[in-house]
């Protein structure tokens, strides 16, 4: 299930013709926030295949701390359930700090209410885990639209 901004219709599209160009023509900065080392590795690998180099941290607090000291990301991939600071709290805090990155929830569990609360914390989109090439293609299209 995908929530937010008409994402479901866009996601059903196959890779656009320009997708290959996007692989080599982007300098977007990405932050992966997830407490699961396997997911961090998997997402990092998918992003690398698109020529994206991601920074990875294991909880929301570390994401907030990074942005506090001036780190800047075009895209933040945010898990929901994490120790220390969860994805919703971190997203709220980042938005309150004025962070206007594309923040995308990537989450495996949770009731519709929990997902809704996560969206309302300030997400642009919320995807089911794991990230896939189709989802990354969609996000790159969004980044290219807005940057």
Per CB under 5 A, residues contacting Mg ion are: 35, 79, 81-82
Bridge-based pairing state of the strands 30-33 and 125-128: unpaired
Residue among 22 and 121 whose Cβ is closer to Mg ion:
121
Angstrom CA distances, 94 to 63, 73, 111, 142, stand at: 8, 11, 23, 20
Nearest approach in angstroms of CB 10 to Mg ion is 26
Of the pair 1, 38, the CB lying nearest Mg ion is at 38
**Shortest distance in whole angstroms from residue 17 CB to Mg ion:** 35
CB within 8 Å of 122: residues ≥ 6 apart: 91, 92, 94, 95, 103
Shortest Å, Cβ 137 to Mg ion? 24
Q: How far is the CB of 108 from Mg ion (least distance, A)?
A: 8
Q: Given the complex with Mg ion, which of 79 and 124 has the nearer CB atom?
A: 79
SS3 112: helix
Q: Say which residue the tokens 């996000």 belong to.
A: 139
Nearer to Mg ion, 59 or 137 (CB): 59
- Longest CA–CA span in the chain (Å) reads 42
């Amino acid at each position: 299930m995908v929530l937010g901004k008409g994402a479901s219709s866009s996601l059903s599209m196959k890779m656009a013709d320009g997708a290959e160009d996007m692989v080599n023509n982007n300098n977007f900065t990405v932050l992966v926030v997830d407490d699961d080392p396997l997911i961090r590795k998997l997402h990092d690998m998918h992003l690398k295949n698109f020529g994206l180099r991601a920074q990875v941290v294991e909880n929301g607090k570390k994401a907030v701390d990074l942005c506090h000291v001036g780190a800047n990301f075009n895209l933040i991939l945010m898990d929901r359930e994490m120790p220390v600071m969860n994805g919703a709290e971190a997203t709220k805090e980042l938005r309150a700090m004025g962070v206007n990155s594309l923040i995308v929830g990537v989450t495996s569990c949770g009731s519709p209410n929990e997902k809704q609360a996560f969206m309302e914390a300030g997400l642009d989109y919320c995807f089911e885990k794991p990230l896939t090439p189709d989802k990354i293609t969609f996000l790159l299209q969004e980044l290219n639209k807005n940057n």
